[in-house]
Structure 1
Amino acid sequence: MRRLFPVTYETADHLGREEPRDGEWSLDALADAYAYPPRAAGEPWLRANMVSTLDGAAQHDGRSQPISNDTDMRIFGTLRGLADVVVVGAQTVRQEGYRPARAREAFAARRAAAGQGVAPSIAVISGGLDLDFTLPLFTEPLVPTYVITGSGAPAERIEAARRSGAEVLLAGDDSAVDPHRAVAALAERGHRRLLTEGGPRMLGQFVAGGVLDELCLTVSPMLTAGDAQRIAGGSALRVPERFELVSLLEEDGFLFTRYGRRRH
């Protein structure tokens, strides 16, 4: 893997380590490259991690794995290793077969130094709570699993979530979840380093709500045609929001981009 942008990279020097040149990067090097930016105490930072083909498909046959590669999955694991909590939509949980995040020895010291739990929590956003609460994601996590829904969600489904051991957070009126309130509810519980892995509908809600700070997008050198979803769906913004390129890595034709919200 090689860095294409920025040409000079200050973080590695600051940490007393030399950034690798061409070749496979260690997990430490990837963690340094994707470190969360410093923030004011208690202020959250929401980043998204998605993959897209050259023609804009976020999935193939309903899953993202066919358009990914090994390095993309290493970055996926690194972003999880840095996060306090991973935020996902109910459809993604069902389609991708989500399980609790596992503790990884490679990140143990880094997480302990940052005051994080042994693994990131999973937070599932769902209005109707059409979820199987007997799955290990809810019954066997190393750290609490959160279910974020609206105050009008079916009472019996809220109770089923709580019986499973999940912590239910109400972050909206009726069954709708408000993106600002969802992020704030997680931040109130000490989760400031937020990572969302989709799906496209939920990412679209975060974009429309103006709460997305960063997008880590892998551009896969594949074409799929068809009518697969884009990385973000839902209602279009009245005015497109501009993000700035933070870093760009390349390997085997895959581009690993990192964009941040433009600050005025």
Structure 2
Amino acid sequence: MQRVHIATYLTSDSGQSGTDTGEVTGDALRELYAYPVEMPRPWVRANFVCSIDGAVSVGGVSGTLGTPADKKVFDTLREAADVVLVGAGTVRAENYGGVRIDADGRQRRIASGLSAVPPIAVVSARAHLDADARLFTDTEVAPIVITCAAADPVRVAALVEAGAHVIRTGGSEITGPEVIAAVEGLGLRRILCEGGPSLFGQLVADDLVDELCLTTAPVLVGGTAGRIATSPHVATVSMTPAHVLADTDGTVLTRWVRLPRP
């Protein structure tokens, strides 16, 4: 993996010139993807992979778009996070299990004051999750399920029995601010959203996204696969590139950070 440049500027007075190339080590990668030192509020980071032509999945899953470089960044982002946030549809489609952190990563997390392994937090307004799924049976840390008052109490009870920490919001739907408040209430402020498009689209529409890490896989897919964010509401959030990385196989990894809020 090589750093192509920190950012691309279209004006001559940007103060940046040339490129910064060279192999990116594990330590350098962790530094590039570190959360801000000062966080007056939760920091919402999203991570997605898509094809060159914008497909977010192949055959309904995103894993087939992954590359070795994408896997390195995926693991780096999980190691840095307090919590991994994901929608119920993605949990079902991707057969999510718990987060895995290797021994060195655990040591780094503990030395930084984090738990050894971050939990998965699933957003499911109807608590539509299988209590026998890998999310509950293949994990070291109990998952968090964020649901709402209208969820079937029998389903909720089954998830509690399976070991989930269930948080119920008011009303019949779950808003973006309620999702963030739920995990912040547990002291989890470094938030990594891994999808899916509906959850990410809601966070964008609610103006809650601070950062997007986007991998472009070197393939064309075609078909009818959707984009990384979908929402009934249009929102425009101005972002700036923090860095661009590339691998020899053509994978391009970008990190976009929102411009300061007015």
TM-score for the superposition, normalised by structure 1: 0.88
1:224 and 2:221 are equivalent in the alignment: yes
Task: List alignment gaps of at least 5 residues for structure 2.
Answer: 8-19
For 1:170, which of 168, 171, 186 is the aligned residue? 168
Name the SS for the 1:157 alignment partner.
helix
Q: Which amino acid letter does the alignment assign opposite residue 5 of structure 1?
A: H
Indicate the residue corresponding to 2:16 in structure 1: none
Equivalent in 220, 242, 247 of residue 243 of structure 2: 247
Q: Which residue of 2 aligns with 1:13?
A: none
**1:89-116 Cα deviation digits (max 9, x unpaired):** 1111111111111232121222112221
Q: 2:97 aligns to what? A: 99
Which amino acid in structure 1 is aligned with residue 237 of structure 2? Answer: E
2:95·2:133 contact (CA, 8 Å) conserved in 1?
A: no
Question: Could you tell me whether the CA contact under 8 Å between 1:244 and 1:259 is conserved in 2?
Answer: yes
Structure 2 counterpart of 1:33, one-letter code: L
Asked if the contact 1:81/1:107 (under 8 Å) is kept, the reply is yes
Provide the rounded CA distance (Å) in 1 between the counterparts of 2:167 and 2:90.
19
Distance in 2, matches of 1:26 and 1:5, equals 16
Q: TM-score by structure 2 length?
A: 0.89
Q: Is the 8 A contact 1:50 1:216 kept in 2?
A: yes
TM alignment of 1:16-95, pairs within 5 A:
22-23=22-23, 25-40=24-39, 43-95=41-93
In structure 1, what is the equivalent of residue 6 of structure 2?
6
| Structure 1 partner of 2:190 | 193
For the residue of structure 2 that corresponds to 1:93, the secondary structure is helix
SS of residue paired to 1:216: strand
Unaligned segments of structure 1, at least 5 residues? 8-19
Matches within 5 A, 1:88-237: 88-139=86-137, 141-174=139-172, 176-237=173-234
Match of 1:12?
none
| Two-structure CA RMSD over aligned residues (Å) | 1.7
Contact 2:84 2:120 in 1 (8 A): yes
> In the alignment, residue 235 of structure 1 is paired with which amino acid?
P
| Count, aligned residues | 248
- The C-alpha deviation readout for 1:201-228, integer Å capped at 9, x for no partner, is 1111111111111000011222111110
Q: State how far apart, in whole Å, the 1-side matches of 2:79 and 2:231 are.
A: 29
Secondary structure in 2 matching 1:210? coil
Is the 2:6–2:241 contact (alpha carbons within 8 Å) kept by the matching residues of 1? no
- Distance in 1 (CA, whole Å) between partners of 2:39 and 2:113 is 16
Query: Could you tell me whether the CA contact under 8 Å between 1:81 and 1:104 is conserved in 2?
Result: no
1:55-97 deviation per Cα after TM superposition (whole angstroms, max 9, x unaligned) = 1100011111222211101111110111111011111111111
> For the Cα contact (< 8 Å) 1:88–1:124, is it kept in 2?
yes
Identity %: 39
Instruction: Describe the SS at the equivalent of 1:147.
Output: strand
The answer to whether the 8 Å contact 1:162/1:168 transfers is yes
Is the contact made by 2:245 and 2:254 (CA closer than 8 Å) also made in structure 1? yes
Which amino acid in the other structure matches residue 125 of structure 2?
A: G
Q: How far does residue 136 in structure 1 lie from its aligned partner after superposition? A: 3.8
Cα pair distance change 1:223/1:106, threshold 3 Å = same
